[in-house]
Structure 1
């Protein structure tokens, strides 16, 4: 039974998700993605004009689910600080998971640092802006006048914690970020 174009596109994105997240953008070729998706390279190029376009589409497909995952981790009960502490606890637990490779958006930015106009960088920037906006709105709902500046600082703590946890595989960096968030928000 033939797959629909939509199903084929989703299969390609799923294969790209596994490979790009697991191995990195530069390490993975379109042949690898096509093979994992069970399609030909020609079919892949029918759906995506280039590997760059596919990488951007992969990140776009991960943006909302990633934000929603952090929102679930945070929960809706308690103050912003209490919700951030829940996020940092979850991040700390990731240190022990060998399959966890950090933030795909930060990793993409690192891999493409020499290509600031790359479509994947634009998607990563948009994702991080959405995350920061969610934090700012949460802080504003608590009556914080400095919500935008605080949200920016909290993004530095979150992404810094993710990076340090990935680098060292030590949950202590999540705890340090939680301590810094407490100092910042009190």
Structure 2
């Protein structure tokens, strides 16, 4: 059973909470979708612990530390967001209607409109959550103890691992821009803001690494990152993005100014 298909739910002694830990590369921890639907796929693993199979619904799980999840049925809003995570990421936006979302969430349609005024508002909330998960993954993939150029290259080693995961169905923000091409729309604007933030962060990492032209290197690395996500969606886990780490190293090495390059060789 693949590590990223495992979730351990460990009960507190007072049985009022469940502690959820997701097995993924690097021991990251993520939230568990649809905790209210545990029947049928649950097995025992030690005292006070449950083990179940599930398929992660987002390419990037929250890497920000151990979460505590209430054992009671989650709120209507959380149920809707969990359903949106699965359906939007796997099927896209136009193929998923409100009726399917509320059916998957197990709530009434009135509950959805109490929390989200429209499907578009739910899409924006889904993208906000995807943005948080992306940055948790990004930060966790940067080794704070490595030299800056190696730290940046290591990000793309982590990207290669992510793109090879069966749970990775590409980039939610690329899909959003494709389905909502009008720049003035909320979905497209949210996706563009995410990509601009990624672009700025890669440029800063390139500057920290000592690139002679951080703007040029940062933009080139963005092309690699988005290309890896596109390949994951197109090919599935066995895709050409396996070489994205080596490609990033070639770009970084070629972009370093002479002084940082000399330091890196010592």
TM-score by length of 1: 0.83
1:75 aligned to 143, 154, 168, which one? Answer: 143
Q: Does 1:180 align with 2:180?
A: no
Structure-2 residue corresponding to 1:51: 119
Q: Does 1:161 align with 2:225?
A: no
State the shift of 1:145 in Å.
4.9
Q: Which runs of 5+ in 2 are unaligned?
A: 1-73, 254-266
Distance (whole Å) between structure 2 residues aligned to residue 116 and residue 98 of structure 1: 31
TM-score by length of 2: 0.60
Q: Which runs of 5+ in 1 are unaligned?
A: 1-5
Higher radius of gyration, 1 or 2:
2
Root-mean-square deviation (CA, aligned residues, Å) is: 2.3
Structure-2 residue corresponding to 1:119: 186
Structure-2 residue corresponding to 1:32: 100
**Contact 1:92/1:172 (8 A) holds in 2:** no
Residues 151 and 8 (structure 1), Cα distance of their counterparts in 2 relative to 1, 3 Å cut:
same
State the shift of 1:126 in Å.
1.1
Distance (whole Å) between structure 2 residues aligned to residue 75 and residue 36 of structure 1: 39
1:18 aligned to 82, 86, 99, which one? Answer: 86
State the shift of 1:172 in Å.
3.1
How many residues are matched?
179
Structure-2 residue corresponding to 1:3: none
